[in-house]
Structure 1
Amino acid sequence: MGFKALCLWLLFVSFLSYIYTPMPDNIEETWKVMALNAVAKTGSLMALCLENIGVMRYEEFVSMLISLDYTEPHSDEHITVTDTTFVDIPVRLYLPKRKSEAPRRAVIYFHGGGFCFGSFKQKAFDFLNRWTANKLDAVVVGVDYRLAPQYQFPAQFEDGITAVKFFLQDKILTKYGVDSTRIAISGDSSGGTLAAAVTQQVQNDPEVKHKFKLQALLYPGLQVIDTQLPAHRENEHAVVLTRDIGIKLVSLFFTKDEALPQAMRKNQHMPLESRHLFKFVNWSTLLPDKFRKNHVYTEPVLGRSGVSLPALMDHRALPLIANDALLRHLPPTYILTCQYDILRDDGIMYASRLQNVGVQVVHDHVEDGIHGALSYMASPFYLHLGLRIRDMYVSWLDKNL
């Protein structure tokens, strides 16, 4: 009983210390963000403690908490919602009920969660996809891919491309009444990573008949070559997603070897043969002055980690390192980034690279934005910021799809 009381007391103290973490002056609903940050970081601390004493792995505990927020496929008067599979990949379909004389638009959505947790079943993602289907009168497909570390790269990419290719078949598009020329792909955070990688594959694959009209990437993570970007330095202890937790999750995406996250924290994880990729992620040339500020660019140190991972040089895992020839065939792109986010600069650099090769890009930067805002759109954990980002994203789709 005494040990349990001690644990509760330590968690309470941790919560109090987190809730009084100073927030940027322009953050909307400051106290609500402080509370959400305290809940998230206290939960993360508990997960780390349980992992360190051998009770449960970090990602297993977080997944257990997130699963409490899962929803069933509930249909309403406007949308029919069903859970099914494309090949063997779980998907949730949102089909508008009202009659349509012409085939409908469609949106494929990949959820975030650091590749280690999350699902289209989460209340916020179910709400977002339902909202998108209703506002656009569109067929929406939420995709669940296998999660790390049980399944590591390229399992997530393989699931994504399998589900997408299945949906893009003529017989499936006809079955769901979809216009093959008006299909978008989108995702947030790690789901944005996956959406970007799948889009690169589909648009450059001559065997895929139907291509995407648009892609939308919401605060995506697109590279890990350099872990000392200005966004990493400025947001090391950011709201919800810190630099250390980000490194932990992306490391599990590749390997369980603890040498990788240790090397990533020092920016010494890339192999010697990766130097030719640095130009694709060089923030000193790809970031506007506004984001470079007074930061000094230092090239990552090569060959120090002792970890041999070819995946660290694979554009299917890190879409920002794709060469220009692959990027030229991409569709018009929407990229949304948030100021207080360790992934901020990934999206900004991708926007620069796409514009440099002639791809039409709309980049919205949310000055008061935090990572994962779309996860906070449903009671009791909702932020006006999440609803604002939802409306920006859906409005762009509506105008362009």
Structure 2
Amino acid sequence: MPLLTIGINHNTASVELREKVAFSPDKMSDALQQLNSMSEVKGSVILSTCNRTELYIDASSTNNIVDWLIDFHQVNGDDLKPSLYYYSDEEAIQHLMRVSCGLDSLVLGEPQILGQVKQAYANAKEYGAVKGNLDKLFQKAFSVAKRVRTETDIGGNAVSVAYAACTLAKHIFESLERSKVLLVGAGETIELVAKHLADTGCHQMTVANRTRERAAGLAAQFDGQVISLSEIPQTLVETDIVISSTASPLPIIGKGMVESALKIRRHKPILFIDIAVPRDIESEVSELSDAYLYTVDDLQSIIDQNIEQRRTEAIQAEKIIAVESKEFKNWLRSRKAVESIRDYRRASDCARRELLAKSLQTLSMGGDPEKVLLELSNKLTNKLIHLPTKALQEAAEQGALDDLAVIRKSLGLEDL
């Protein structure tokens, strides 16, 4: 059965439509059970994220599957069908590999998708929905993703403001385990910054925010401290890195405040990363010799360079996928040969055992051994050459010279 992919993603559908066909975790079991109960489906994996919903299927047809998808989510087919894409065989193989490597993601090369693909596979495996060629395909996709991450730098460059800020801090301080970080603000961007910092081993974070309750909720996730905005001057004295992102219309940290803190620190440097618009940190801070200030514009320049670098790395990743997908396709073809050989051997052995049983019966009844062996060899030969002979005759009569050549080659005969 062919390998098929049906899906929608951020390139083909709006957020509203993607939300309608997303599979929530509590519905995944029912979805896999229903999908695999179809007669044409041999196995399936459902990948559902905020940016895509995809069905990877070992099936003979997609017609009933699309109808099932529409019915399961109770969506309008006229709205959904134009946004769906379909891949089969080698295209389906390449697509899964590209998805797993982050080449089909909204953010090129993002690493989270591989974990989501692995989770989708684990879910399908748990419900007994993935096996055979589909199982082998996912195992191959995981190994290809590992190879791409090892042999290219597709995911090694920061392409979000939050991640770029943390990467910059890590490059300057090498290790953030002993660095004391002050986060100013408690919104989504600062929360992402905190998560990235925690991933790098930073565990000394203080959150300053106008609303302490909001700051407390964020700080609690990372065992951080909480201060008010008015306490920033005193806290700066013990701070190595300041990352700020608030909605304040006016700067929160001024040149004088920083200058005073540096004097008490005996000019031990402080890194300031201002990712707020309008700015949270006065631009004059950069005039101080021991203060290093980067703004959102500086980070965007880094991000643009990194995106271009990822695009360059993606070219190499695509080459790896082209080779690996072709290799997997060849493996699938070889599997068909294995099945054909097995079936041919089984049929031949069945004929052998049938004729052998009759010969042994004749011998047990006192038959002449020489005659019995001669008859056995003649009948076995006729039995084995009957179908190939018929195929040769039909190919010749129909003028199918290519088929005739293939049959002759398989029988060990020279070309005509």
Structure-2-length-normalised TM-score:
0.24
RCO higher in 1 or 2 (8 Å CA, sep ≥ 6)? 1
Structure with the larger helix share: 2
Structure-1-length-normalised TM-score:
0.25
